[in-house]
Amino acid sequence: MYEPYHITVVFPNEAHAQHAYHQLCALLEELPCELSAYRFQFQSRWYISVLGTRPSPPLQAQLEGLLTAAAGKATALPEGLYAQLVQRRYERVQNGRPWQQQHHPGGLRFPFRGRRRK
């Protein structure tokens, strides 16, 4: 049975997020799991979101430990942005490409129209 999983972590800067993301990708490549990871900047802050099918308890602990050890702090995303990540993952899985690594040096724009922080 499918049990959804999601964690989002915010980082103090790009370097911390990048380091954690590379470690996370290496871990996800070597272990059997149905997870997608996204590193992105939103409202001048760096995030990593992991979503998919809930991993085993040991893997979940390892993922969460890795993300918070790299100066990350668990947080929530605005609902609209979370929905876009879920949609993006769904489309990749439906197209037969559950694992896809893409890098967008200039950033990847989401058409999110949520409230802006002031």
Task: Report pLDDT for 33.
Answer: 87
* Per-residue pLDDT tens over the stretch 43-60: 899 999 999 999 999 999
Q: Is residue 70 part of a domain?
A: yes
Q: Is residue 102 part of a domain?
A: no
Helices (H) and strands (E) in the chain, counts: 3, 4
Confidence band (pLDDT; 50, 70, 90) for 20? Answer: very high
Distance CA 18, CA 31 (A): 20
DSSP state of 116: P
Distance CA 103, CA 107 (A): 8
- 78: domain CATH number is 3.30.70
Distance CA 58, CA 65 (A): 10
Distance CA 91, CA 116 (A): 27
Q: Who wins on pLDDT, 109 or 40?
A: 40
Give the chain's domain count. Answer: 1
- If you average pLDDT over residues 64-70, what whole number do you get? 91
Residue range of the domain that includes 49: 4-94
